[in-house]
Amino acid sequence: MEDARLRHHDRIRVHGTDLPEVADWTWDG
């Protein structure tokens, strides 16, 4: 789970946008 969050965050930093795959994820804050 933590690893997935790190990879997701890394993709956001690279692409600058959120992915539709994880768009349904609920981020606190």
- Confidence (pLDDT) at 14: 72
- Confidence (pLDDT) at 18: 58
pLDDT in tens, 1-29: 678 777 767 767 776 565 555 666 666 65
- Confidence (pLDDT) at 7: 73
Domain boundaries along the sequence of the chain: 1-29
How many CA atoms are closer than 13 Å to the CA of 19, on its beta-carbon side?
13
| Dihedral sign for Cα atoms in the order 27, 25, 4, 7 | negative
**Counting beta carbons within 10 angstroms of the beta carbon of residue 22, is it exposed (0 to 12), middle (13 to 18) or buried (19 or more)?**
middle
Phi, psi dihedrals of residue 9, rounded to the nearest 5°: -65, -35
Give the list of residues 6+ apart from residue 11 with CB closer than 8 angstroms, or none. Answer: 19
**Could you tell me the pTM of the whole model?**
0.24
- Confidence (pLDDT) at 22: 62
